A = this chain, B = another copy of it.
């Protein structure tokens, strides 16, 4: 069978996306998963709950793409118009799907233990011209249409419902139909070097890359990911990609965090698991964000013990044992305070390593000596304590995120003795 073309557009539907009340996280996840099976997303469109705008985007995108993935607008309320629109667009009429109906009833009777409303029953209706994609995580079924050789897939906008459908139905079916070479990526992560310095360092490498291998820079909060990609997984192509990737690794060896597409917390988790060591935290300025990043990973309880959110000075004293004299003499944002915080939480939790942060995240609280963005990080181990000072110059949210990533990278280097 000749492989069919497999360019995709993602259309997300909902006024909430256009007035800025919702950030679209679905598209990124969908694009990642589609990439893995070799489907290239070349456009993403967001439109409101407006009949003519949705209709127009369906017409336009079907001229540009082979696969049109649609999320949103399938809820039980009056502003959700996607289903009747799709029904008309594909020339069908709404009929009750028995399996979807049984699913809606089951969710209400067994899980929610609430009476079923008329509007919920309507969720089991689908156009008679689609193949139904059952929703195991919610009430709105998905719909698969084909028209003039193009595929249209409509799914709910609720992330975990969409993900369930993609994983169990949509991706396997697309894989079966298209049989295309997957896109092969090799990614490495650097920290502590800016995008333009990195580009300067590898410009000769970049200019001599074979045409079928593409390099991308992906900067993110003090880290830059470098990604090489090629389309196709024949042994020769993969070997060529690997050879280029090895060369790239050598060029950035001193600033490389890991030679995989992992985030900093995964890298640290891997190291701690391998070394059978534990970690605790004492956070002032990051206010629990580092703990949140660490505990977002499944299995983190194997190496992360917890610690203190030592936000107020009194809590720095009571939970991490910082001395009142230290706070008075040097201030909360100081080498001395983060040293005592790290050593204190290490002692209290019995962990092998401890990470402490204290800084001024803004917008207020800066002084001429310690302006907004001043951060101290302390790292304690059984033998010694290291400290670092950073200076950021951004807004509160970004300062918190940058502090977390810089502190975790300092932690990583400390553990590795690098």
Contact = CB atoms under 8 A, between A and B. Distances in A.
Contact of A306 (B294, B295, B312): B312
A25 interface: yes
A336 interface: no
A342 B219 CA distance: 40
Interface string A199-230: 11000001000000001111110000101000
B25 A23 contact: yes
Contacts of A286: 292, 295
A147 interface: no
Given A196-B117, A287-B292, A310-B306, A28 B20 contact: yes
A130 interface: no
Nearest to A157: B219
Interface in A49-106: 50, 53, 57, 60, 75-79
Residue from A281, A304, A306 whose CB has the most chain B CB atoms within 10 Å: A306
B45 A31 contact: no
A363 interface: yes
Interface stretch (A268-276, A394-402, A409-417): A394-402
A393 B110 CA distance: 13
B288 A160 contact: no
A333 to B, nearest CB: 13
14 contacts: A18-B44, A19-B31, A20-B28, A20-B35, A21-B28, A23-B24, A288-B309, A289-B292, A291-B291, A295-B309, A298-B362, A306-B311, A315-B348, A319-B349
